[in-house]
Structure 1
Amino acid sequence: MFNKIFPLALMLGLSLTGPAWSQPRGENFGKIDLNRDGKVTLLEMQAISRERFKKADTNRDGFITTDEVLELMPFFVRGQARQPVADYLKKQDNNKDGKVSLEEVLKHATLRFKRIDTNKDNVLTETEFKAIAGKMEM
């Protein structure tokens, strides 16, 4: 169960708190559909990514680290989540400086958006989201 929920939570912009942690794949679509029109635009996905980055950047230095992300998680999963979080952030760390900037997060959010948007109409439907979200390699 951890292996299915963890990548989706990260994919959604580091949404690793409370109820989002325990939800099955696809249930977070409504949380990123900010205007509730049944579809998600790139701007909505980026807005959520910005919000969650800000929440994760607890020391306000403009970067997120493994420790900051782990602090958002329930304490009882931090030990088993440390390496997957570190690996995920390493993939997002384009300049390999050991930390992830908002710019890097937004770049990866854009790439994920394009991968989920299978019909290439520049909006995500819940169907597209559910079909690919659980299959994506982070």
Structure 2
Amino acid sequence: MKTFPLWVVAGSLFCLAPLASACPDGHHGAHPGMGMSEMDANSDGILDQKEFAAFHEQRFQQLDANHDGKISRDELPGMQGCDRKKAGQRFEDRFDATDINHDGVLSKEEAEIGMPMLFAHFDEIDANKDGKLGKDEVTASMKKLHEQGGAGMRRKE
């Protein structure tokens, strides 16, 4: 099992999860510029280490806007404008949209459909073990994990 930093999970929930709602229904494909075809320079359907490294070096250069050899938060497209207030509102909106029956909590089924990262860690987040996630449980779990620096969070494979 690979260790997966919790701050990535929290960041995904607060900053990236709402982006899924911007995709057309039924969209499950790769994002432009990040697919295998973009990396497969010789179009043989296989990525070798050189192709993989070359693609990521090129992407690094594109992101490093000031060419200082480092990528700051401001240079990451997904992090621009991601302040806590806006992120909190996006989480609230996403949670409410996922709450299909509008009872103020998410069942496992609702989480699986609308918030897959919550679903993947549902039992860990469900503090009172009632089989439902309230906003307060999710927020408390994210705060706790943030304070721990993501220690102990594992990617579900």
Instruction: With the length of structure 1 as denominator, give the TM-score of the two structures.
Output: 0.40
Instruction: With the length of structure 2 as denominator, give the TM-score of the two structures.
Output: 0.36
Structure label with greater radius of gyration: 2
* Structure with larger RCO (C-alpha < 8 A, sep 6+): 2
